[in-house]
Structure 1
Amino acid sequence: MSNIPDLRNLTSSELRQVIATAESLIDSKIRQERDNARREAEDLIRKLGFTPDDLFGNPMRASTNQRKRGEAVSAPKFRNPNNTNETWTGRGRKPKWFEELSEEQRKAAEIKG
């Protein structure tokens, strides 16, 4: 490490400049290393006959209204009377707020449609 200057002789301002320069270089090196690793991984994926979308999917193509199999998301059938932002479709595990409702409250929570 003989090419590193003797930092003990630098002023605090010069030391801050050295630190800022070093941090900038570190950030640049990290970006470069990540880009290289990504390119190597994509090359290997293609070499094996896949595309990155095959392995990781493409979030830009996924619709927020559809499940993986292309089925439409069910409309909610129940709405939490204490927090109208919380709904449940009636499928899957019952949410805690629904389980805590009495039978009468459950009927009132049902969305009429």
Structure 2
Amino acid sequence: MERRARQEREELEAKIQEARTRHLEGVVKEIQAKIAQFGLMPSDVFPEFNFSRKRKESTSQPKYRDPATGATWTGRGKVPAWIGDKDREQFAI
């Protein structure tokens, strides 16, 4: 008896989940149609979300300065020509 009740419960839960999934699919299609109809962007519908994928700008402080020109370098990336093979300590800020 208990086994049968458990099986019926599982079947009912599966049917409920199926019905919910079908309903949500319909709702999503309706929303997509409205968005297309009015030419909306995601940011129009959800303004609290930031949809841009901008990279965070580097906030590294310069570690080296060219005394002749005042140009600076953070120590990242390609070594500037004004440092070249010279001792970096003489350009340290």
TM-score category of the 2 structures, normalised to the smaller one:
0.3 to 0.5
Task: Give 1 or 2 for the bigger CA radius of gyration.
Answer: 2
TM-score by length of 1: 0.40
**Higher relative contact order, chain-length normalized (CA < 8 Å, sep 6+):** 2
